[in-house]
Structure 1
Amino acid sequence: MTSIPEIPLGSNVIGLGIDTIEVSRIKESIERHGEHFLNKIFTPEEQSYCDDKSDSAPFYATRFASKEAMAKAFRTGMGKEFGWLDSEVVHGDAGEPFIKLSEAGQELLEKVGASKVLISLTHLSTVASAVVILVS
């Protein structure tokens, strides 16, 4: 079995995660499960931001991808240690995305030795992606 490579001493990259999802999968989940799906995966603030768009599905999809990318960067997967609502995409004054962590998410960030989360989001009409880098 191959082990996870060690991060070199002196490096400030603690974790990296990426995720891509078809926008149609998120759209279908919203149509099929409605508020139950939205409330399980997205914070009220994320829902408000996405619902304000003429086509909300790509925006929900980028946020879904960001949560998956966070779980990959933490090396936990989605579950008990890091859940869907433990991270939230928020925006700066210029519209740039940032990650806001829950208390449990912030504790996990500190536990892995990171202090900041860098994120990049992108979407087309059919796919959405997110890249997350944890840095010390």
Structure 2
Amino acid sequence: MIYGIGTDLCDVRRIERVLARKGERFAHKVLGPHELEVWRARSARVPGRGLRYLATRFAAKEAFSKAIGLGMHMPMTWRACEVVNVPGGAPQIRLHGELARWFAARGLKAHVSVTDESDHAAAFVVVEHLPSQP
């Protein structure tokens, strides 16, 4: 059964301006540990790829926060929610700490899709409530 749906559209140029103004502090605020490693590696190779990676993660976390109905309020925090790629490349939500416990206690599972073009990044999240096991 669907618990919630969230979507977000992010202007990559806006993320670029914030990053220029705040530097890595902005990335540290939004990205979890694994995401920071990927962002740094992508930014070192091609700065535009790193920028779009940051924008897609920003959009995905906004969409996830909407799908769970909390917005950016505890236990939902930027760094407690990571969007990682499984070996085949598909994005997947990975939660940490209190948010992970909150999510698991409700028997929820998230599905995420992200995409980007030169000026926009978008994300779509569906959270489902899994039936209880007898």
What letter is aligned with 2:52? P
Aligned twin of 1:17:
6
Gaps of 5+ in 1: 1-11
What letter is aligned with 2:22? H
Aligned twin of 1:87:
81
Offset from partner CA, 1:17-61 (integer Å, 9 cap, x none): 111110011111111101221111111321221232212111100
Aligned twin of 1:40:
29
Q: Is the 8 Å Cα contact of residues 50 and 60 (structure 1) preserved in structure 2?
A: yes
Are the structure 2 counterparts of residues 69 and 114 from structure 1 closer, same or farther at C-alpha, using a change threshold of 3 Å? farther
Q: Give runs of aligned pairs for residues 37-116 of structure 1, distance below 5 A.
A: 37-53=26-42, 54=46, 55=48, 56-111=50-105, 113-116=106-109
Between the aligned residues of both structures, percent identity stands at: 32
What letter is aligned with 1:20? L
Gaps of 5+ in 2: none
CA RMSD, aligned part only?
1.3
TM-score by structure 1 length?
0.85
State the SS of the aligned residue for 1:84. coil
Offset from partner CA, 1:75-113 (integer Å, 9 cap, x none): 1111233111111011111111101001222222134x3
Q: How many Å apart are 1:65 and its aligned residue?
A: 0.4
Q: How many Å apart are 1:116 and its aligned residue?
A: 1.3
Q: 1:30 aligns with which of 6, 16, 19?
A: 19
